Amino acid sequence: MINKTLIFVDRLTEDAHQLPLSFLKVGGLTILERQLRQLKKVGISQVYLVSDRLQDMAKAEVGKFKGGPESIQIIKDISEGDEHWGEHESLFIIEEGRMVDQRIMRAVINSSMPNVLSFFNEDALLVGISKAKKVTIEDKDLIFASVLRIRGDILKRSSLDKEFLSSPILSLLGNFESGMGFDKIKAIDIKKYVPNLRRNLDVLWRPIEKASDCNKITKLLISRAQKGTQDAISRWVYPIPENFLTEHLLKTPLQGMVLRGLIFLFGVYLTWLFAIGHMGWGLAGVIILGIFFGVEEKSSQILLQERSKIKISANIFKVVEYSWMFAIAFYMAKMTGNQALWAVGLLIILFDIIMGLQKSFYRRISGHSLDDAGSFEKSFKLLGAMRNTRVWLLIPFALIEKWELGFWVIAIYTVGSFFTIQYRFFKRLVEKLSPSETQP
């Protein structure tokens, strides 16, 4: 298993500012920090930053960085690395100043060959393709997809080339041109479906050559963080304010655990408002908080935060959501004397939990979300009983002050969604166990 990576950290931007390229911020992270987080996610444990003139900046960046590979060392040139890797050891290399899809990295790492080149066809419709490096393989001009693997002895031989210091990547690509045995990874053929986003997504490749590129690519990352199959509110109402807030909060310390903590505290405050009878203010707060749930999801995706932390946060947010149901039931039961409202609140919560567990089980056995299993499921997701659709369904009842009736309607709505999901779950499960049958 390959576990060592080289990243060259010496280039400056091409604009008048002449800023260190690897330390520009895109989507709340420097380019280097993003690459290091990606490397950890694909299983790389040792990273060597090759830097001559920017060693002090590299040391400062590594010193404050958390959440990356186990070992990050800074070396001045390739000759210093001879003691760290063997001649027949395969090394993973990322081109400096490129936003590269993690799926390309994983495909190169998983190849069984010691030398691997990732590429796009010359006619690929890529933004910034004029900045890409080209390599000729078997008389075909290909676009280098910024990720390669190469054996230690070939790397050492390339480093002796006089062109290596000015352009190490081009020097390394010269070995592939010479007919050396290697594997080719065509980036455009990499599987497009992204399970946690529930949609197909083209592989990401963008060059960053100047500071003004950063804002454009941040906007691109935000748009790519949008989930595919969602309820109607998340799909059509919330994206504009979510994207605006995400873009601006990525420039502040209000990220990660800080943002999650604030969302949690506000959610608990809304529970208290419902419990003491400030129903209208509570409902308005929940509608607003729905936007920040989306902001938190998108920023976590863009910042490449650990899935375990994201999952824990999602479960905590679910507990807060369920506390709203209990608080509403508590207040209305207190005011009307109808204790059955407690059972209504419990029913909504239990059915929602069961639906969530079944969807999680289906995803584990199929690799896809149940919400994406077919056209019916995708359409039903828009209108089925979810947090946002339940909350927004309460609005007309709030306007005529019929909160108890609205609560009953939500319960019926949840039950209907529950049994619909049961039918589709078992139908799709049978289809998965009988793959020869046509899936409508």
The SS3 of residue 199 is strand
**CA separation (Å) from 253 to 113, 127, 244, 248?**
42, 30, 16, 11
220 in a structural domain: no
CATH code of the domain in which 426 resides: 1.20.120.1760
Domain, as residue range, for 161? 4-194
Strand partners of residue 205? 100
Same domain, yes or no, for 366 and 260?
A: yes
Same domain, yes or no, for 35 and 159?
A: yes
215 in a structural domain: no
Same domain, yes or no, for 102 and 30?
A: yes
Averaged pLDDT score across all residues of the chain = 89
Whether the pLDDT of residue 439 is over 60: the answer is no
- pLDDT 10s digits, 210-230: 888 999 999 999 999 999 889
In this predicted model, which residue has the larger pLDDT, 249 or 80? 249
**CA separation (Å) from 33 to 43, 72, 99, 106?**
16, 11, 12, 18
Q: If pLDDT is split at 50, 70 and 90, which confidence band does 355 have?
A: very high
Among 170-179, 241-250, 336-345, 373-382, which stretch is predicted with the lowest mean pLDDT?
Answer: 170-179
Tokens of 309: 């932390």
Q: Which whole number is the average pLDDT over 378-393?
A: 94
Dump strand ranges (E) for 27-86: 29-30, 46-50, 71-75
394 in a structural domain: yes
- pLDDT 10s digits, 108-131: 999 988 899 999 988 776 777 778
Share above pLDDT 90 across residues of the chain, in percent, rounded to a whole number: 58
Same domain, yes or no, for 26 and 172?
A: yes
Asked which of 171, 194, 217 is the last residue of a domain, the reply is 194
Share above pLDDT 70 across residues of the chain, in percent, rounded to a whole number: 95
Same domain, yes or no, for 146 and 264?
A: no
> pLDDT at position 167, please?
78
| Burial of 399 from C-beta contacts in 10 A (0-12 / 13-18 / 19+) | exposed
In this predicted model, which residue has the larger pLDDT, 327 or 431? 327
Same domain, yes or no, for 296 and 378?
A: yes
Same domain, yes or no, for 96 and 240?
A: no
- pLDDT 10s digits, 66-117: 767 888 888 888 877 777 888 888 999 999 889 999 999 999 999 988 899 9
Same domain, yes or no, for 239 and 103?
A: no
**CA separation (Å) from 120 to 45, 103, 139, 151, 240?**
27, 14, 15, 22, 33
> pLDDT at position 276, please?
97
132 in a structural domain: yes
> pLDDT at position 155, please?
87
Same domain, yes or no, for 155 and 231?
A: no
83 in a structural domain: yes
Nearest-angstrom CA–CA distance, 225 and 242? 11
Same domain, yes or no, for 325 and 180?
A: no
Same domain, yes or no, for 238 and 383?
A: yes
Tokens of 201: 């997504």
Nearest-angstrom CA–CA distance, 149 and 111? 9
Q: If pLDDT is split at 50, 70 and 90, which confidence band does 1 have?
A: low
Nearest-angstrom CA–CA distance, 380 and 387? 14
In this predicted model, which residue has the larger pLDDT, 197 or 412? 412
Tokens of 374: 């077919």
334 in a structural domain: yes
Whether the pLDDT of residue 175 is over 80: the answer is no
Whether the pLDDT of residue 16 is over 70: the answer is no
Nearest-angstrom CA–CA distance, 398 and 73? 60
Which 8-state DSSP code applies to residue 204?
Answer: P
> pLDDT at position 273, please?
98
Q: Which of 375, 370, 363, 266 is nearest to 321 (CA)?
A: 266
Structural domains in the chain (count):
2
Residue with tokens 């990295």: 105
Asked which of 175, 194, 213 is the last residue of a domain, the reply is 194
> pLDDT at position 438, please?
46
**CA separation (Å) from 418 to 29, 303, 348, 406, 408?**
41, 34, 10, 18, 15
CATH code of the domain in which 156 resides: 3.90.550.10
Asked which of 141, 171, 194 is the last residue of a domain, the reply is 194
DSSP 85-126: S-TT-EEEEE-TTEEE-HHHHHHHHH-SSSSEEEEEETT---
Radius of gyration of the chain (CA): 26
| Burial of 431 from C-beta contacts in 10 A (0-12 / 13-18 / 19+) | middle
- Find how far residue 26's CA is from the centre of its chain: 14
> pLDDT at position 246, please?
97
Q: Which of 86, 91, 89, 109 is nearest to 38 (CA)?
A: 109
Nearest-angstrom CA–CA distance, 7 and 35? 9
340 in a structural domain: yes
| Residue 438: other Cβ atoms inside 10 A | 5
> pLDDT at position 219, please?
96
- Find how far residue 119's CA is from the centre of its chain: 23
> pLDDT at position 396, please?
97
> pLDDT at position 391, please?
95
- HSE, CB side, 13 Å, CA atoms: give it for residue 134: 13
Residue with tokens 């290909």: 142
Tokens of 262: 């604030």
Same domain, yes or no, for 78 and 147?
A: yes
Residue with tokens 């908080």: 289
Reduced 3-state DSSP string for 202-268: CCCEEECCCCCHHHHHHHHHHHHCCCCCCCHHHHHHCHHHHHHHHHHHCCCCCCHHHHHHHHHHHHH
Nearest-angstrom CA–CA distance, 166 and 105? 24
| Burial of 293 from C-beta contacts in 10 A (0-12 / 13-18 / 19+) | buried
201 in a structural domain: no
In this predicted model, which residue has the larger pLDDT, 103 or 180? 103
DSSP 168-195: HHHHHHHHHHTT---EEEEGGGS--EEG
Q: Which of 294, 277, 284, 301 is nearest to 242 (CA)?
A: 294
